[in-house]
Amino acid sequence: MKRLFYTIAGLIAVLSFSSCGYNGMVKLDEQVQAQWAQVQNVYQRRADLIPNLVNTVKGAANFEKETLTKVIEARAKATSINVDPDKLTPENIQKFQNAQGELSAALGRLMVVSERYPELKANANFQELQSQIEGTENRITVERQKFNEVTQQYNSKIRSFPNNMTAGMFGFQKKGYFQAETGSEKAPKVEF
């Protein structure tokens, strides 16, 4: 009799967990982690292109060494910040985003400064690398958007009733989003 009681109680528990969305939360958590891996993948592609870009630029006579140094330092910092997919808190995402933002800014300065060097602009390797970096930046934007979308689905699921009770019991935590860079709400000032 006890055995039948425990079997029925276990079956009720399984059914109630399934109706409270536990399996759906696990599925969404896995999607967030998979999309995070894709975000890291495209950022790694950019990091892998940078040494080739720096070496190509080094060949330009009298190129500003300070600009190259800043790109190299920003790349080192950006690649040193890794976020565990299980710890995608808003704070950890912000640290990652800040380091990547510094690298984006350094790359932007490098591209602007390179405009002053006609021999560099004419270099086929430089043009190809510049094109690849532009394409990679577009991929980063797309993957960050996809990450935010699956994160929003996950966060909505764990915060809605009755899923929030199941989420609390099993430790499902809210994930962080990529945010717009500080100051991006202001239009850039263009002067001729």
Residue 127 to residue 138: CA distance in whole angstroms: 17
Distances in Å between the alpha carbon of 98 and those of 103, 147, 188?
A: 9, 17, 20
Phi first, then psi, for residue 102 (nearest 5°) are: -65, -40
Phi first, then psi, for residue 101 (nearest 5°) are: -65, -40
Mean pLDDT of 24-40: 95
Whether residue 109 contacts residue 72, with contact meaning beta carbons closer than 8 Å, is answered with no
Q: Looking at this protein, which amino acid is placed at residue 119?
A: E
pTM: 0.78
- Residues 139-152: pLDDT tens digits? 999 999 999 999 99
Whether residue 53 contacts residue 137, with contact meaning beta carbons closer than 8 Å, is answered with no
- Residues 98-150: pLDDT tens digits? 999 999 999 998 888 888 888 887 888 888 988 999 999 999 999 999 999 99
- 191 — pLDDT class (breaks 50, 70, 90): very low
Residue located via tokens 């929030």: 164
What pLDDT is stored for residue 188 in this prediction? 46
What pLDDT is stored for residue 136 in this prediction? 93
- Residues 173-187: pLDDT tens digits? 999 999 876 654 454
